[in-house]
């Protein structure tokens, strides 16, 4: 039993080493997103625990949060690093990062359960997201959690095409998009996490 427990811990450790290595490879291409995957991981992890999901779902959520942008490794620099608005064709190319990312994760058996977060984190509750336009409960739970975590960190981080929003302003945006972009139940949990983290001066 002790050997099995040690093996399990080793597999989980290797799982996250692999996920982090892939995330770092993506962020190395874009200095404006440095640390983004790890911050999304931290937020998603905290939200998952508050959602009382299973240990297996929590593992896939955390791995998926780390890997959510891994498909951007296949996006051309001219699109990924463009300092202004994307054209329609460029935006469609950028959207492919979810599908490309899922294809990368699919090839790694130890990360297979993370595919839902990688593939579906840009879907919306109202069905106007991508890549497939699914909506509501059709979107896997770990993807709905990752969506909120990803959006909040993206809004509060400087990007080549815009300056970061304040935490307060980003919170307002998350709440404003509850029920359209984001799962209302996840938003409620996020708001409580935000209050505990920022109003009580805790760290991520």
Q: What positions carry a catalytic annotation? A: 72
Q: Give the C-alpha separation, 166 to 194, whole Å.
A: 13
What tokens were used for 163?
A: 């300056």
The set of long-range contacts for 46-54, using a CB threshold of 8 Å and a minimum separation of 24, is: 46/193, 46/197, 46/204, 47/145, 47/148, 47/149, 47/186, 47/189, 47/190, 47/193, 48/142, 48/145, 50/189, 50/192, 50/193, 51/141, 51/145, 51/186, 51/189, 53/141, 53/142
Please choose, from the candidates 96, 92, 32, 104, the residue with its C-alpha nearest in 3D space to the C-alpha of residue 67: 104
Residue among 2, 34, 8, 25 at smallest CA distance from 158 = 34
Please name which of 74, 69, 79 lies closest in space to residue 33, comparing C-alpha atoms.
69
User: What's the DSSP call for residue 198?
Assistant: I
Cα dist from 19 to 100, 171, 188, whole Å? 15, 28, 28
């Amino acid at each position: 039993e002790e050997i099995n427990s040690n093996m399990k811990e080793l597999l989980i450790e290797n799982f996250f080493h692999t996920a982090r290595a892939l995330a770092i490879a993506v962020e190395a291409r874009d200095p404006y997103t440095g640390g983004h995957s790890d911050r999304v991981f931290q937020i998603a992890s905290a939200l998952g625990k508050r959602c009382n999901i299973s240990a297996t779902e929590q593992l896939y959520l955390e791995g998926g949060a780390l890997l959510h942008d891994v498909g951007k490794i296949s996006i051309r620099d001219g699109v990924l690093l463009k300092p202004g608005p994307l054209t329609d064709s460029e935006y469609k190319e950028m959207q492919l990062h979810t599908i490309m990312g899922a294809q990368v994760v699919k090839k790694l058996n130890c990360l297979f359960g993370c595919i839902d977060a990688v593939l579906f984190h840009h879907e919306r509750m109202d069905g106007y997201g991508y890549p497939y336009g699914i909506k509501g409960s059709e979107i896997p739970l770990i993807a709905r959690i990752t969506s909120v975590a990803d959006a909040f960190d993206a809004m509060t981080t400087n990007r080549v095409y815009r300056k970061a929003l304040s935490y307060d302003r980003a919170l307002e945006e998350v709440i404003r998009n509850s029920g359209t972009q984001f799962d209302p139940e996840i938003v409620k949990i996020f708001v409580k996490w935000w209050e505990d983290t920022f109003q009580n001066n805790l760290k991520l």
